Chain A
């Protein structure tokens, strides 16, 4: 069986600024991988390459056995990769319901939208109470729920979740990770980008550690804590 996502010696840059160098790894179907590292080591850039938001300057991006390096993000989505981006990842100028409708129209067609929306609301009752509100007016946690609600209903092959815990209360973080665990149980592979390693390592079986834009370590997650701790005690 093909890995759902493979990066082959990928380097990428923002204009004159290089962000990641020669990064290679793959994620197998149903597997959960944590991408760890300090601020500014290139975790988000790796996530962006993996969903087509950035075109790598060299290397290949292979999704489900097909090389789609350089393709636009919608091709990645159609191939089964969903990306919950860092920070706000909803359309602020659309209402909660319109945000959901936008995602569901493509997958379920016109007639399937109402059922899908009701299903999303049953997962996240907090969103139903705000269905006609502009998504930009939601709190940070609610926005994150909204972006998860979109993927939970349509279950992608791979979900890239970038810093889902950022700036959220611990209770809500726990809730979000519960949802991720359920998603995983249903067969979705996960690539979790995190700074708060605790939750991520509990969920994932493998971990990758980045430093200065390069992969410095990869292995089972139960050894990752040790490895990370070593980094900090060395200095």
Chain B
């Protein structure tokens, strides 16, 4: 089993490279993500007009922005395969598991690069200071991993269901909610600064949720991909 997993991971890299190359040519998914995030952020920042937000509200806002941006861009990798008619070629070229890993890595790369842009902007525009920077980074990273992990397989489902516009959000929100609850709570603690021991339950929740989500997606992906 471990040898197969590493083989899948290795075979996933070319899929990731292919997706990155396609993305560099059009920059559709990334611009959709970034534009969505920046527009929301600017709206929020503009409407509160320089007032300092409470930590609770700021933490929820950050994850609302990240969640809806993810919904705007992450289904792209699968929908685009369907639209371009390249699904069959990809099916021939790779097993389902490498395809899953490739798409997952691609979505993780997308979300991380989005977070790298949006999170600093968020802190600057909303005039926030982070009490525990390292934990804050860790929480954002784990939250993004979870968002990508769950959204990848749901995006595959949505692309097979005829890419109905709002379906992804409807499907993803409730499934992602345990993750969002954990991430918002942990972000709030990291912004406000609490003893490190208080962060443990949230981080555990994020960690196990991510692990279970990725394993389940890996087991189920074959059934979505091959029909």
Chain A bound to chain B: no
Q: Residues of B with Cβ closer than 8 Å to A?
A: none
Q: Residues of A with Cβ closer than 8 Å to B?
A: none
